[in-house]
Amino acid sequence: MELIVKNNLEQVNYDYVKSKLGSGNRGATESILIDARPEAKYIKGTIPSSLNITDSTFETGYKQIIDLPKDKELIVFCAGYSCEKSPIVAKMLKDKGHKNVKIYSGGEPEWATKNYLEVGIAVIKTYQENNSALLVDARPSTKYFQETIPGSISIPDTSLDKLVGRFPINKDEKIVTFCAGYSCEKSNIVAEKLYNLGYKNVFVYAGGLPAWKEAGLGTTSNSKKVEDKPKEAKKEFSSNGVKLGSDEGTVDGEWFKALIVENKVPANIQIVNVLPKKDYDKGHIEGSINIQADQFKPEELYAKLPKGKTVVFHCSAGSRSLEAWTNLKKANLDVSEIFYFDANIVCEGNKCKIDVNEPLE
């Protein structure tokens, strides 16, 4: 809130954002939505049609909108009311000359409680490999029979009312719709109808069949396998006994939450709060230390970490801790005993409310 006021940024709510979304596919929205969270968060679930522009990779991400008219409305969001990335990116956009920049403070967490999300190729690939979601091709049936993603079923948007009985009885089942790419609205139409029918675990794979093929993944019209070699078995624990999460770089969320709640975090684990000091001083996990990760280059951050201990980064919603871990890994530093805790955490003093974020797998 402090950065929003300081930079004179207008805030909008869920209803306003939804009114600007149109059918939800890129090119059909009145406004450009910008997700300021790290890419790994963005691909796991974002507001439909959103582009990913982060503060740490701003110049690269900005190329996506460099030719936009400066009066085009931009709505920036991140990981909820406690996330500072959206006002930071909004300020950077204003510095580029954009005159109509707004903030959706509720961000992805609020949107996810009220509507369907868009996911990236890593998500649908995981769902397909694990048979953990129903994949729905929303294109015309003739297109489906020519070529589609293996394992998907055909439910054209124009036939949904007639074919609705093909969907699971259990409305908590994951359903992913797709069609002919980012400009195709059919998958969004089906997703919205399903959500309104009570299916609350609905996602759109906006890249659709074109992005799937571009990634070199197998379709029903060729013999290429999605997985060319067996998966390597994942380790359950690190060398120092930390239970590993299913997403790369994470600790097992529920396991680690239980240790914190029961005040049983082992002495060989150091929790590092990567938020600004003012946020740390308001409240933090007991025993954690504060290092504001985004103020340091990877090598500098690495040098500040306690030696001889397993380090677990955390922040308020998982984005900045993920970013800190990712930056160390990209710098080829040893992260074998450095992890991040992917959770939403709100602390008053040493009393913390912790909600673990759902892993991809």
Same domain, 345 and 271: yes
Task: Tell me the per-residue pLDDT of 77-116, one tens digit each, with 9 for 90 and over.
Answer: 999 998 889 999 999 999 999 999 999 999 999 999 999 9
Please tell me the predicted confidence (pLDDT) of residue 230. Answer: 58
- DSSP helix/strand/coil, 49: coil
pLDDT band of residue 231 (cuts 50, 70, 90) is: low
Same domain, 43 and 65: yes
Higher pLDDT: 284 or 246? It is: 284
Percent of the chain whose predicted confidence (pLDDT) is above 70: 96
Residue 56, domain member (yes or no): yes
Residue 225, domain member (yes or no): no
Same domain, 128 and 188: yes
Q: Domain end: 58, 79, 112, which one?
A: 112
pLDDT band of residue 223 (cuts 50, 70, 90) is: low
- Look at residue 28 and tell me whether its pLDDT is greater than 50: yes
Nearest by Cα to 291 from 283, 300, 252, 40: 300
Residue 27, domain member (yes or no): yes
- Look at residue 60 and tell me whether its pLDDT is greater than 50: yes
Percent of the chain whose predicted confidence (pLDDT) is above 90: 83
Residue 326, domain member (yes or no): yes
Q: Domain end: 51, 82, 112, which one?
A: 112
Same domain, 159 and 103: no
- Look at residue 7 and tell me whether its pLDDT is greater than 80: no
Same domain, 266 and 195: no
Domain hosting residue 69, numbered range? 2-112
Same domain, 333 and 349: yes
Residue 231, domain member (yes or no): no
Residue 84, domain member (yes or no): yes
pLDDT band of residue 226 (cuts 50, 70, 90) is: very low
Task: Tell me the per-residue pLDDT of 162-202, one tens digit each, with 9 for 90 and over.
Answer: 999 999 999 999 999 999 999 899 999 999 999 999 999 99
pLDDT band of residue 125 (cuts 50, 70, 90) is: very high
Residue that the structure tokens 């009570």 belong to: 198
The 10 Å Cβ neighbour count of residue 351 is: 10
- What would the mean pLDDT of 145-155 be, rounded to a whole number? 95
* DSSP 8-state symbol, 165: G
Q: Domain end: 59, 81, 112, which one?
A: 112
- Tally of structural domains, the chain: 3
- Rounded to the nearest integer, the mean pLDDT of the chain is 92
The one-letter amino acid at 130: N
Same domain, 86 and 126: no
Same domain, 192 and 157: yes
Same domain, 308 and 279: yes
Same domain, 263 and 295: yes
Question: Which of the residue ranges 58-62, 122-126, 283-287, 318-322 would you say has the lowest mean pLDDT?
Answer: 318-322
Residue 236, domain member (yes or no): no
- Look at residue 29 and tell me whether its pLDDT is greater than 60: yes
Distance set, CA 42 to CA 38, 263, 282, 338, 360 (Å): 6, 32, 28, 22, 12
Sign of the torsion angle spanned by Cα atoms 10, 13, 17, 19? negative
- What would the mean pLDDT of 48-63 be, rounded to a whole number? 96
Same domain, 108 and 131: no
Residue that the structure tokens 């922040």 belong to: 315
Contacts of 175 (CB under 8 A, 6+ apart): 133, 134, 136, 167, 168, 191, 194, 199, 201, 202, 203
Same domain, 180 and 130: yes
Q: Which two tokens stand for residue 124?
A: 């649908």
Nearest by Cα to 152 from 179, 170, 171, 172: 179
